[in-house]
Amino acid sequence: MGWKDPDFSGIGSTEFFKFKDGNNHIRVVSSPAVIAKHYIDGSYMVCRGVDEGCDGCAQLNKASVRWLAWIIDREDALVKKVEFPYTVVKALNELAVSKQYGFDEVPAYDITVIRKGEKLDTEYTVLPDRKDTALSKFEAEDVALLEDPELIVERMKTPQEKTAKEPF
């Protein structure tokens, strides 16, 4: 999957990036992978699909769709996973196919995502930087070590057996 054809149907730091209100300056460094989650009993669980025995699907609990990707957070220069909402992926798709900002795998420029509001009243605006900027040597080395988001999502869909050593 890529930014030009995101599925709308449905290693530096491994911290998770969370959009804050206002400007969020980031660099997208991977293609996206679609991920669906059910909200059940106060927490999210990854949807495995009705054919795979997903509990959320069995309960007819609607899944929320996001797109998992890697970014560099320009605030602290760390590589992080992010779950993009539909509006951000749609904007990135429009940039990917545009004449001026088009790209194949990942943009050669940073973007600013402006977040306003909260919960269901949240709006996102995506602004591309005016100039392409190369990744630093260290950033490029970190990015080269990143796991493909598609593999991460597949692993998240697989139920994990709990062992006596695991605290949860």
Using one digit for the tens of pLDDT, what is the confidence trace for 12-32?
Answer: 445 899 999 999 999 999 999
pLDDT at position 80: 96
Higher pLDDT: 3 or 17? It is 17
Task: Label residue 125 by pLDDT band (50, 70, 90).
Answer: very high
Q: How far apart are CA 103 and CA 110, in angstroms?
A: 12
pLDDT at position 166: 40
Cα(first)–Cα(last) distance of the chain, in Å?
Answer: 33
Q: For residue 114, tell me if it sits in a domain.
A: yes
Q: For residue 51, tell me if it sits in a domain.
A: no
Least confident of 27-31, 49-53, 112-116, 121-125: 49-53
Q: For residue 52, tell me if it sits in a domain.
A: no
Q: What domain range is 124 assigned to? A: 22-36+67-152
Q: For residue 31, tell me if it sits in a domain.
A: yes
Q: For residue 138, tell me if it sits in a domain.
A: yes
Q: For residue 92, tell me if it sits in a domain.
A: yes
Residue 73: is its pLDDT beyond 50? yes
Q: For residue 144, tell me if it sits in a domain.
A: yes
Give me the residue label for tokens 């993009």.
84
Q: For residue 50, tell me if it sits in a domain.
A: no
pLDDT at position 157: 86
Where in 42-119 does DSSP place strands (E)? 43-46, 63-73, 78-84, 111-116
Structurally, how many domains does the chain consist of? 1
